Structure formats: C-alpha cells, structure tokens
Structure 1
Amino acid sequence: MQSIGIIGVGEIGQAVVEGLRSGGGAAPEVFLSPRGARTAAGLSERFEGVRVCADNQEVVDRSEVVIIAVRRQDHHGALAGLRWDDDKIVISLMAGVATDDLRRTLGTGAPIIRAIPLPAVRERRSTTVTCPSHPVVDSLFERLGGALPVPDEDTFNVFSALTGTLTAHYAYLATLTSWATDHGIASDAADRYVRSLFRNVGRSLSDETRPLHQLAADHETPRGNNERIRTTWFDPANTAALKEALDGLLAQLR
C-alpha cells in the first residue's frame, strides 16, 4: 500500500496519521481532505509525505485506500457526487452507517470495510475491530496496535456500542475527584491520585491470562473497602441500567 487518503481529519483521523508516522520504517503517503483545515495543515507541517488536498475528490483520486472519518450526520454532504474507481479500498469509521447505505451514497463496487479505531492508534496500542476482514485493512490496523476482524455487521455493532462507554468511564473518574474535593482534598491532589489509581488498574488489564471477573476478585478482600463499594453502588439495578443503556444504543446503531 503506497497511499492512504483521509476524508474528515478530526481526532481519529489525526491519530491514524500520527500512528502511521511513529515508530520509524516506511510509511505510505497520506492525503488529507481540507475538512478540519487547521488539523490537516498541522499534520502536513509536522510529517513528511502528508499533504492536504484541494477537495475530497483529489483525496480519492490520489489514494489506494480511503478512510472516511466524517460525522454520520455529515456524510451525505461530504461524499455525494464523488467518483470512485472500483479498485479503491474504502474504510468507513462512521458509527451507525451500514455498508449498504454507504455503498448507495458512493455508487461504487469498491470493497467497503467498517472499522472502529480508537485514539490509542497514535501510540499503536488500539485493537481495531474491522468488518469484514480484508487483508490490506487488517494489515494496516495490525500496524497500529492490532486488528480484530468480525464476520458481520450485527457483531460489529455490538463492539461499536461498547465504545460508547468510554466517556462514561472518564465521567466516573471525574465524579470520584469531585467527591474528594467535597471532603476537603485539593482538586489537583485528588486528580493526581485518581489518575494514578486507575493508571495502575489499566496496567493490570495487560494480563490477559485472567478474565475480567477474576481481576475484580483478585483486587478485592472479603468484606473489604472494594467489595463494599462494588456491592452497594454497582448493584443489580445499576448493572441492569447499564445493560439497558447499551441495548438502546445498539438498537440505534442497527
């Protein structure tokens, strides 16, 4: 693969470029749409072989693989009228836009692969779900931290729903910090401690020999502090509410 185009240079598009350009070695040319002009211009200034195109059609024409990373509600306006040769490979990062719907918008017989890269691709540490499996696309995301191909869009949408929990986790941590400040802890000290606490939890997730429920048990003492919070706050009703929220998101994605 000699060239990649990105239409929609937001947070994820930027992370993909940074991941491709980190770690040395040969990297494909990257062609960016003018959408997100400031971010695109900054990437072009930072990295050799990264160029900002005049319009989205130029991105398509210059690229073997084209990543579409615009917002779902903007994709018709950004993509309608573009001409696509069937030898292109299209990677859609748009949650909730089915492959058949996108194919009608693009009017192409080119392969369309859906993917869910996360911002950690910039450090090459994101496992990216892809659907369906495609050797070029899976190889690209293996380079950025790993590929997890799934066979159909129903399965893909379940993983897409899981990504919707990410900011809830940050909000949970922010609530812990807020609670501590309410009890007289300086906000910077509370923030520092909560970050340290859960950074260590993140490291334990690297141990894939233990399932998640086992990790929880291993960090808990019977009748201890962790067990108390888990059983009083994360009770059956709370668990059911989380699953209900995920079910609602999954229904929307489908």
Structure 2
Amino acid sequence: MNSVGIIGVGEIGRAIVDGLHHGGGEAPEVFLSPRGARTAAELSERYAGVQVCPGNQAVADRADIVVIAVRRQDRHEALDGVTVASGKIVINVMAGVANDDLRATLGTEAPIVRAIPLPAIRERRSLTATYPAHPVAEAFFEPLGGVLPVADERAFDVLSAVTGTLTSHYWYLATLTSWAAGHGIAAPDADRYVRSLFQEVGRALGDRTRTLEQLAADHETPKGNNERIRTTWFTPANAAGLTQALDGLLADLGRS
C-alpha cells in the first residue's frame, strides 16, 4: 500500500486523512506537513500510522504519493526549495493551479495529477475528478467515493467551475431558513425543516435511473407550488446569470 504525504493540512487534507481511515481496516502510512500544525497534531493523535514531519521536504521524501493541498496564494512560499523524486506521484488539489505551473515550482519529473476532492471524501462519498488519468491516482481515490478521470485540462476546469457553486447552494438554503424565520417559524425549527427537506433531495440524487430533469419533473405538479417557484424565480434570465458567472470563472481558471 502506497504511503501518502500531505503538504498543507487544512480542510481537504484533514478530509483525506479521515477518509483513508473511515470504516476502520487497513490504511496507508500518512506523513503530514507542519503547516496546519493544530490539525496535523490532532490527526496524528487520532490515527495510528499518521506522523507529523518536521518540514515539507521530509513529507516529499518519505511518501510515495505527495498531495499538495496548500492555498493557491501560499504555494510558492510553502514549496520553496521542495523537490520531489521522479519515482513518486504528485497529486495537485490546489484550485486554479495548472500542472505545468506546479511542475515548474517543484522542478520535478514526477507524474502530476490534478484532483478535486471535496469534504465528503472523509466519509468516502465524494466522486473525485482527476486529470490526467493515472492508475495510482485512480487507485487512491476510488475507495474514497469514486474517481472520474477527464480527457483534458479544459474539461477539468469545467468541473472545477461547477464545484465553485457549492457554497451558493448552502446560501440558498440559508435564505430559505431566514425567510421562514421571518414569517414566524422559530429559527431552529426552520433550520431543521430545511435540512430535512434537502436531505431527501440528496437521497433522490442517488437514483441514477432518472436524469436531473426527470427528477425535477417528478417533484412537480402542473400549476403546483414547485412549478410556481421554478417559473417565477428560476427564470431564463436567472439561469443565464448563473451561466455567465460560470463562464467567467472558467475563463479565469483557464488563465491560471
């Protein structure tokens, strides 16, 4: 089993470590950088086989798979002087950082694979997009919720842009909760109801025998409440605004 090193132990780094140990069973040896010291120390105390290294170079030296998970704006400082041997594999989970950019920073001939793991990887429920296809990266992410290798970096950027809508969805739910509370529903009850409502939507998404359009249609009745909100709020102009925002993000990602 390949050992794993993580440089940058933030939310995604923590989720990866949790996912590797989810459900018990055998897990690879994990080496953590001292960046995110509190989180790294907590993980090393929680799981056997997880160690905090004295520096980022030690992580790169000890691990077979080196995950780069620092913030985009911190990468040059965090990776200054770090080298990765050609026999290893680098997994780049930094949003908006192309593989050629990272290769130049590291000065390495090792294979580099971009990936978009999400926090749900901690429960092995996150499908992870990767580019380019690589058997080691696919074997790493498959048990963590599945892997979706894409054909080129442009396709990868499209999926990265889609991922950028995640917090907008949470704010949509928060707006529903605030609206209900503003109309006299106790805030905790409004929160509980909205969470329950959309947890059911999440379960429905597990039915891959129906397209998303079919799922929407199955939840509507002609002239019913759902149809009314969809046609009066999620208008063609609203949809066009979302498309424009995604196009703008995609253009920025393509220039990174």
Give TM-score, length-normalised by structure 2: 0.98
Query: In structure 1, what is the equivalent of residue 199 of structure 2?
Result: 199
Any residues of structure 2 matched to 1:61-140 within 5 Å, and which?
A: 61-140=61-140
Amino acid at match of 1:20: L
- In the other structure, the counterpart of 1:221 is 221
d(CA) in 2 for partners of 1:180 and 1:126?
A: 31
Distance in 1 of aligned mates of 2:226 and 2:86: 56
Q: Find the counterpart in structure 1 of residue 49 from structure 2.
A: 49
Shift of 1:2: 3.0
Q: In structure 2, what is the Cα distance between the partners aligned to 1:60 and 1:102?
A: 14
State the Cα distance separating 1:88 from its structure 2 match: 1.0
Q: Distance in 1 between matches of 2:133 and 2:71?
A: 23
Q: 2 CA distance for matches of 1:83 and 1:126?
A: 30
Q: List aligned pairs for 1:124-203, cutoff 5 A.
A: 124-203=124-203
SS of the equivalent of 1:114 reads strand
TM norm structure 1:
0.99
Amino acid corresponding to residue 160 of structure 2 in structure 1: S
SS in structure 2 at match of 1:48: coil
**Structure 1: gaps (5+ residues):** none
**Superposition RMSD in Å:** 0.6
Residue 42 of structure 1: how far off its partner (Å): 0.3
Structure 2 Cα separation of the partners of residues 214 and 12 of structure 1: 33
Q: CA deviation at 1:81?
A: 1.0
Q: Which runs of 4+ in 1 moved over 6 A?
A: none
CA distance in 2, matches of 1:169, 1:67: 28
Gaps of at least 5 residues in structure 2 are none
Identity of aligned residues (%): 71
